[in-house]
Amino acid sequence: MRISSSLRISRHVCSSPLEAALMQRAAPLLAAIVLATTSISPPAAVAAPPTVAELARLPAGLARIDQLLDNWDEITTVCNGVPDDLELKQVVRTVGAQKCSKSPLKVQTYIGASSTLDPLFKADKLMIRAQPLVADDDAEVYSSAVDTYITKQQMASTMAYTSSWSGIENPNGSVGQIEDNLLEAKKEVLELRNSVATVVDLLHLKS
C-alpha cells in the first residue's frame, strides 16, 4: 500500500506525461524488488518425532510408578531412626521416639518431579512430540491422557510436598496429617499411572 501511494504522489508531481507513464510502468517492478528483498520469517520448525531410545523412557517410567505403588509403605517410610538424604531436606519430618517416620518426598523421585535422571522427567514434552505417531482415531484419547498426566504429576508432587510440611512442628500438624496428605498423593499417583499406561498403549510401546 505504501508503494502504490508513493507512486501516485510521484505521478502528481511529475513534470511531463512521459515521466508519469514511466513511473506507472515502474510501479510493478519496484513492488517486486521490495517483496524480493523483504525477509519473511519461516514458520516455526516442527519438532522432530522422538527416537526409539527416547520413547523407551515412557514404559520405563511406568515401571517405576508401578514399583512405587506396589511398595508404597516401604518406599515412603524410613525406619530405625536413620533419616535418608531426602528426609533431611524436608522442612518437617516426624521426630521423637518413633522408630519410623514418613518421607513423602520419595514420591517425587518416582514420578519425574525430582531428578533429571528419572525416565519421566519432562516426559510431557516427549509425549507431545510423539503425538504424530498416534493413529488418527486415537488422537483425542491420547491428547486427553497427556493432559491428565501433566495435571496428575503436578498434583501428586504438590501433595507429597504438602505432606512433608504436615508434621508436628507446624501449626495443626500431626503424624495423622502427614499420612492423610500422603494418601491424597497416592490417589493422584494412581491416576497418573493410568494416564502413562494409556500413552504407552496408544504408542504401542513394550512395557
**If pLDDT is split at 50, 70 and 90, which confidence band does 47 have?**
confident
pLDDT in tens, 104-148: 999 999 999 999 999 999 999 999 999 999 999 999 999 999 999
Model pLDDT, residue 1: 43
Model pLDDT, residue 8: 44
Q: Is the pLDDT of residue 152 over 80?
A: yes
Q: Is the pLDDT of residue 85 over 90?
A: no
Model pLDDT, residue 75: 96
Question: Mean pLDDT, to the nearest integer, of 49-69?
Answer: 98
Degrees to nearest 5, angle at CA 117 with 112 and 160:
30
Distance, in Å, from the CA atom of 110 to the CA atom of 103, rounded to the nearest integer, reads: 13
Model pLDDT, residue 28: 55
Q: What is the mean pLDDT of the chain?
A: 80
Model pLDDT, residue 83: 55
Length of the chain: 207
* Between 66 and 97, the higher pLDDT residue: 66
Q: Is the pLDDT of residue 19 over 50?
A: no
Distances (CA, A) of 156 to 27, 40, 104, 116, 201: 65, 45, 10, 17, 22
Give pTM, 2 decimals.
Answer: 0.69
Burial 181-203 (b: 16+ CB within 10 A, else e): bbebbbebbebbbebbbbbbbbb
Distance, in Å, from the CA atom of 54 to the CA atom of 96, rounded to the nearest integer, reads: 45
* Between 178 and 41, the higher pLDDT residue: 178
* Between 28 and 155, the higher pLDDT residue: 155
